Structure 1
Amino acid sequence: MDIYNKNGRFISILSDYGFKATFGNEADTTFLKKALQALINSPVPIKSVEFVKNDISAITIDSRSGIYDIACVDENDNHFIVEMQLSEYPEFIQRMKFYALHRFNTLVKKGEYKFENLPRIYCIGILAKSIFPQITDYHNIAILRNIKNETIDDQMAFVTVELDKFKKDENEVITDLDKLIYTMQNLHTVTETSQFPTFWNEDWLKKAISEVDIRNMTPEQKLAYEMAISANALAVKNENKKIEEAKRTLIIEAVTKALKRGKLSIEEIAEDNNVTIDFVLFVQKELSDSQ
């Protein structure tokens, strides 16, 4: 997913800068409150949100240059952790469990290890890539249930949005959740307000859009944005390099295994692993030199 449009007027909410300016806007939480309500599928409006310090260092190199976790609490003491993930991360749910359980343990410790009346924890993951290929829904809320689908416990909920599964056109968007996802997917592709869908005039979305409108940015904000783009580009380059190195390692291991078995010709090994004959010969020489 290409979230940067050099000729665009609006910064993608999925970008590091855009995510902080909208979801992480401490000066005005109008957008965040409505977004959280939509993400947890609650009919009850969230009246207030207070940001809290995240005790876990959440800086990891990925396509967003650094994960920016949002941790906040509403007026009913519901705890929220929101995290964005643009790159491939099949094990993302494991990281969500880590964050949620860390918050759970913190609350238990703060309550002097008492387990009654614990507040609810919502761990929300917004992902550009799918992590549940067996599930068709783009929005899922998971709690602890038994094999009969009966609720065992709902104190901790895991909410995921897989953006690449959302295929609705503008005229199909009805719910606040769909409005949120559509905006995250498409805002950065728009150049003029005349292209706005009607629901972008709703107060919560209008406020978020104004925060990522390049024409509204101060020189300091523009500098911060350009620095974020630069850092993101470097992170993507490093990530791609890591991926290519990992792929190369796996291919070398497969070719080495085939050479040691000695049942296939050089040509067959090259064809089976989609590499050149010269590559197989190189691995063969390295294997020979190491013996």
Structure 2
Amino acid sequence: MGRFINPFTDVGFKRIFGQSVHKDLLIDFLNNLLEGEKQIKDISFLDKELLPEFQGDRGTIYDIYCTTESGEEFIVEMQNCEQAYIRERAIYYLCRAMSRQGERGANWKFNLKAVYGIFFLNFEMKDSEGNFRTDVVLSDRDTHVPFSDKLRFVFLQLPCFKKEESECENDFERWIYVLKNMETLQRLPFKARKSVFEKLEQIVDIASLSKEERMKYDESIKVYRDQLATLDFAEQKGRAEGFVEGTLDVARRMKAMLIPVETISLATGLSLDEIAGL
């Protein structure tokens, strides 16, 4: 095991971004993510139970829910494994957070606060064209003029971030580099450049964990690895089944062309009895 925690585990991710005592880390990350757009000065963590949990998400999806001093809401998620409806899931959670702002009575005038979804993805989305960062906003289809700033989706595909330490051009890229490589590093870079990285190093050092924290972290590592192993097995099994079906299809086609079964057997590796049964 390396010197620093794995930020892709539940305990690791929430230790970095989900603790009120260290909320300056999340504030700094969000400000760098939205540099030039807004400057967050304070956040408050909201009740996690406001976001429903699904059993299938355990070990692969971790979320943090907070609000800024101006009332804007942020849902920050780490997702480790690809889902068929990842975009729909993001829309659902942000719209659900938006709908909770509604108030009973005729005096409420739909004065909604913006809801942001920040999604760390430890995989590549389908049809994403390999872009590290995808920003989704509400705008006119043809003119691209903004329609509303109340919903914002930011997807960060970590495998698509290829920069090395010396190539990082700003603090946002430095954050991503550190998060992506944390478990393999022996020191955290950029400490001399910005104090937040020095504080981050102290928080993520495994040696700084208490006995109870270490037990929780070890369990989260186990859940994380078990889940990834299960998904990897399913993927390999699917490829193997696809290969077998492809071989059978080729054999059927060759058989339909009246190619001798001995030749089909040599070409596909199927036995004569298997070919006869097609």
With normalisation by structure 1, the TM-score equals 0.78
2:169 pairs with 1:188: no
1:171 corresponds, among 166, 169, 172, to: 166
- Residue 22 of structure 2 is matched in structure 1 by 28
Q: Give yes or no for contact 1:58–1:69 (8 Å, CA) kept in 2.
A: no
> Which consecutive residues of structure 1, in runs of 5 or more, have no partner in the other structure?
1-5
Q: Secondary structure of the equivalent of 2:111?
A: coil
1:263 Cα deviation after fit: 3.4
Q: Deviations over 1:180-233 (max 9, x none)?
A: 101111222122x4xx42346623222232221012111111111111122222
- Residue 105 of structure 1 is matched in structure 2 by 99
Q: Deviations over 1:8-67 (max 9, x none)?
A: 1111222322101001112220101111222234454311111112423234546x7142
Q: Give yes or no for contact 1:61–1:239 (8 Å, CA) kept in 2.
A: no
- Residue 263 of structure 1 is matched in structure 2 by 256
Q: Cα 1:174–1:111, aligned 2, differ >3 Å: closer, same or farther? A: farther
Q: Cα 1:25–1:94, aligned 2, differ >3 Å: closer, same or farther? A: same
2:214 corresponds, among 192, 217, 222, to: 222
Q: Using the alignment, how far apart are the partners of 1:111 and 1:96 within structure 2?
A: 26
- Residue 199 of structure 2 is matched in structure 1 by 207
Q: Cα 1:233–1:270, aligned 2, differ >3 Å: closer, same or farther? A: farther
- Residue 234 of structure 2 is matched in structure 1 by 242
With normalisation by structure 2, the TM-score equals 0.81
What is the aligned length?
270
Q: Deviations over 1:241-283 (max 9, x none)?
A: 3334544565676677778887377886997xxx8526x939x
- Residue 142 of structure 2 is matched in structure 1 by 147
- Residue 122 of structure 1 is matched in structure 2 by 116
**Higher gyration radius (CA):** 2
Aligned-residue identity in percent: 23
Q: Cα 1:270–1:21, aligned 2, differ >3 Å: closer, same or farther? A: farther
Q: Using the alignment, how far apart are the partners of 1:13 and 1:48 within structure 2?
A: 23
Q: Using the alignment, how far apart are the partners of 2:226 and 2:266 within structure 1?
A: 33
